[in-house]
Amino acid sequence: MVHSSSLNQFFSLVFLGLVLAFCIAPVSAAIFSINGSEIDSELLSDLIRSDSSLIGGDLPPGTVIFFWNTHCGGCHMAWDFLDEFIPEHPEMKLLDYDLYNSPENRTIFEQYKTTYHRTHLSVPSMMIGNLTLEGTQDISNHLGEILELQQNMHESQGFLSNFFTLFRNLKLF
């Protein structure tokens, strides 16, 4: 009888732990700038418009780096979103790194964490310009918005650059 009671308590604790893990884990989501500071998702568009360096960076516009893990439920949800998103956004170039069983990909992930001033970064995570989206929710809520702003700013900068080059060549100023 004592053995059965101990076993029931053990399974109750395991069940409670699983319930808590599933309730808490999906809430984890955040947006970070390259300096490591967290960005309020409601202010993201305004911040990008006021500081275009947030969507700048070393990679060409439209290039997105995606870190994920084969055994991550949130990562599979992010892939479900991306499977629908990618065909509608041919301007996006996705560089994806599965961290499971790949020491090379984990090394790349650690390098990005250092570059983006993050001591902790969970998967799924996505880097776009000088921004990091952490978690399925922020990836699905903000990827399209960031790509659109990045594309619009890149096109307007290209237009202005071409405009000034034309006038310089004509020696009008």
**Structure-block tokens of residue 16:** 């409670």
- Residue 6 domain-assigned? no
Which run of H or E residues covers position 82? helix 73-88
- 52 phi, psi to nearest 5 deg: -65, -15
Q: Tens digit of pLDDT for each residue in 59-84?
A: 899 999 999 999 999 999 999 999 99
Edge to edge, the sheet with strand 63-68 lists 38-39, 30-33, 131-134, 125-128, 63-68, 93-98
- Looking at per-residue confidence, does 6 or 40 come out higher? 40
Res 57: pLDDT: 87
% of the chain beyond a pLDDT of 90: 65
Res 22: pLDDT: 45
- Residue 68 domain-assigned? yes
- Residue 11 domain-assigned? no
- Residue 16 domain-assigned? no
- Residue 19 domain-assigned? no
pLDDT band at 153 (very low <50, low <70, confident <90, very high): confident
Instruction: Report the CATH number that the domain containing residue 156 is assigned in CATH.
Output: 3.40.30.10
* Mean of the per-residue pLDDT values of the chain: 83
Res 152: pLDDT: 87
- Residue 8 domain-assigned? no
Question: Per the structure, how many domains does the chain have?
Answer: 1
- Residue 23 domain-assigned? no
What percentage of the chain's residues is helix, strand, coil (to nearest 5)? 60, 15, 25
- Residue 10 domain-assigned? no
Res 157: pLDDT: 60
Q: Which residue segment(s) compose the domain that 140 sits in? A: 29-170
